[in-house]
């Protein structure tokens, strides 16, 4: 195996990794909305104030109550994570440095001009910061058939928020489905 074959295959693999990194950074801002049905043994009268207190403590506020469907909508501002912005910028910097190294080895006549790619690394953190700061909605409906049956909570929102909600209030899941938003 000669040196050209190794450089060419390394170049192709580096391009594929760069494409993967690009899509990873792009996906960091996408909302991941899920819908769950949870059960509890608590009555509706006890549960609703408890849910309101929980979401108020998490910096959500009630923005709508639909009396026809009994759906309560909470909204809250989700701020971006400094850690994730730094991580994405670092990954983009390492990826750009590796790609620049492979390009400079593949095209030695041009030299180290490809190190200019490192200038683009902070764009990853900026892109994440701009795209992840948003208002999120939690929509829930409490259904109680009678006192002997468990009370059901149908809730939709960001998957991380729902996981925290379920574990904090120690609710058992009945069903779960992923809703995608474009």
Give the start-to-end residue ranges of the domains of the chain: 3-28+81-130, 33-78+134-179
CA dihedral 56, 60, 61, 63 (to 10 degrees): -150
- Mean of the per-residue pLDDT values of the chain: 85
Q: How confident is the model over 42-53, as a mean pLDDT? A: 85
Domain 33-78+134-179 CATH (choose: 3.40.50.720, 3.40.630.10, 3.30.310.80, 3.30.1360.30): 3.30.310.80
This model's pTM is above 0.75: no
pLDDT band at 73 (very low <50, low <70, confident <90, very high): very high
**Residue 144's pLDDT band (boundaries 50, 70, 90)?**
confident
């Amino acid at each position: 195996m000669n040196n050209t074959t190794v450089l060419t295959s390394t170049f192709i693999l580096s391009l594929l990794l760069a494409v993967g990194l690009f899509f990873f950074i792009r996906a960091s801002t996408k909302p991941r909305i899920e819908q769950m049905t949870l059960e509890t043994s608590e009555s509706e009268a006890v549960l609703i104030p408890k849910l309101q207190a929980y979401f108020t403590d998490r910096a959500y506020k009630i923005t709508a109550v639909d009396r026809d469907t009994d759906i309560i909508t909470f909204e809250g501002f989700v701020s971006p994570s400094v850690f994730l912005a730094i991580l994405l910028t670092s990954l983009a910097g390492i990826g750009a440095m590796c790609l620049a190294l492979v390009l400079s080895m593949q095209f030695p006549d041009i030299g180290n001009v490809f190190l200019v790619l490192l200038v683009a690394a902070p764009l990853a953190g900026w892109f994440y910061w701009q795209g992840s700061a948003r208002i999120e909605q939690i929509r829930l409906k409490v259904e109680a058939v009678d006192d002997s049956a468990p009370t059901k909570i149908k809730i939709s929102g960001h998957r991380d928020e729902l996981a925290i909600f379920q574990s904090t209030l120690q609710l058992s899941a009945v069903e779960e489905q992923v809703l995608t938003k474009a």
